[in-house]
């Protein structure tokens, strides 16, 4: 299995705040989103775009994956944001409130018009009822690289309570996960708003990890360490994964298709999970 790109922690950084962009150089997030949208007031949009361009092209963020969240094309700033991001050659642009493939096609046309590299892809934010209902088509779009849950806006649109355990949103999260896995695309969980409640944040990270999300979007640097820890295979898990692979290889050599390990049956699917755990651990180690 080839190395995976870790996206355990995906940190939003307000591009209007130059100090925040400077601080991000020392934050151990797997990915950064330089935000031109919600975190930026209308009178700061142009300055934020310039800041994001300068930061994205600086080469000073190490191995972190760099993206820019643009304003929507239905705003006065969206087209200029996309054109600027195309010139910055970031890994991807994050597009808010993607509700259908027409939006993705339009964004793609703007990228092409700005001579963006073909490898520059789109992270599509799933944060409206229409997006949930059309998420299979959105996930399958050829220019979409990652799905990003926008749980705050989704809850607002649904008039749903945001409570511990996220029961009002759980089925919608699962629907988006199904679409991402069907399309073979990564998907990252939505933000957690109470930056002072580390225990509740960890609990929501564990829920997201157990559901199958690849990581979590974050709104504060203090959340990075917990997300990185929750989505990283432990040493014990990696050791067990190696034992699973070795035991299955021995079984295959003996002409068997299954084998017992520590009292449990091991077959192909367990080997695939073990290989993925090792690949994730290797990819995380490569970031250091």
Kindly report the CATH number assigned to the domain that includes residue 47: 3.20.20.60
What are the residues whose beta carbons fall under 8 Å from the beta carbon of 229, sequence distance 6 or more? none
Whether the per-residue pLDDT at 122 is higher than 50: the answer is yes
Pair type for strands 31-35 and 92-95? unpaired
> What global pTM score does this model have?
0.93
**32 and 131 belong to one structural domain:** yes
Residue 194, pLDDT > 70, answer yes
- Residue-wise pLDDT tens digits, 33-64: 999 999 899 999 999 999 999 999 999 999 99
How far apart CA 73 and CA 95 sit, in angstroms, is 9
Domain identity same for 195 and 251: no
* 62 shares its domain with 79: yes
| Cα 281 to Cα 277: distance, rounded to the nearest angstrom | 6
Same-domain pairing of 173 and 252: no
Its domain, for residue 164, covers: 9-230
Structural domains of the chain, count:
2
Contact 130, 168 (CB under 8 A): no
**Is residue 256 situated within a structural domain?**
yes
- Residue 202 or 117, more confident: 202
Pair (165, 267) in one structural domain: no
- In tens, the pLDDT along 138-149 reads 999 999 999 999
Are 171 and 214 contained in the same domain?
A: yes
Indicate if 194 and 242 belong to the same structural domain. no
- Looking at the structure, do residues 24 and 124 belong to the same domain, yes or no? yes
What tokens does 20 get? 């925040």
pLDDT band at 3 (very low <50, low <70, confident <90, very high): low
In a domain, 3, yes or no: no
């Amino acid at each position: 299995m080839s190395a995976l790109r870790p996206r355990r922690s995906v940190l939003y950084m307000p591009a209007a705040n130059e100090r925040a962009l400077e601080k991000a150089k020392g934050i151990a997030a797997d990915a950064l989103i330089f935000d031109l949208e919600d975190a930026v007031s209308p009178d700061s949009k142009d300055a934020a775009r310039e800041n994001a361009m300068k930061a994205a092209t600086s080469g000073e963020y190490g191995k972190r994956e760099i993206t820019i969240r643009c304003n929507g094309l239905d705003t006065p700033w969206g087209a200029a944001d996309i054109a600027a991001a195309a010139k910055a050659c970031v890994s991807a642009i994050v597009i808010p409130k993607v509700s259908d493939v027409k939006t993705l096609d339009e964004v793609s046309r703007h990228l092409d018009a700005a001579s963006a590299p073909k490898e520059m892809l789109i992270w599509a934010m799933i944060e409206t009822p229409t997006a949930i209902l059309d998420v299979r088509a959105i996930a399958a779009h050829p220019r979409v690289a990652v799905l990003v849950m926008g749980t705050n806006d989704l809850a607002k649109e649904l008039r749903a309570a945001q409570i511990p355990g996220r029961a009002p949103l759980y089925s919608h999260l699962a629907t988006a996960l199904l679409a991402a896995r069907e399309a073979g695309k990564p998907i990252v969980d939505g933000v957690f708003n109470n930056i002072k409640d580390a225990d509740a944040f960890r609990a929501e990270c564990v829920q997201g990890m157990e559901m199958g999300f690849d990581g979590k979007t974050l709104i504060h640097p203090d959340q990075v360490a917990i997300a990185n820890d929750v989505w990283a295979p432990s040493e014990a898990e990696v050791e067990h994964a190696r034992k699973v692979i070795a035991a299955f290889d021995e079984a295959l050599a003996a002409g068997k298709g299954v084998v017992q390990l520590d009292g449990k049956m091991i077959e192909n699917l367990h080997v695939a999970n073990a290989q993925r755990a090792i690949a994730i651990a290797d990819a995380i180690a490569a970031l250091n």
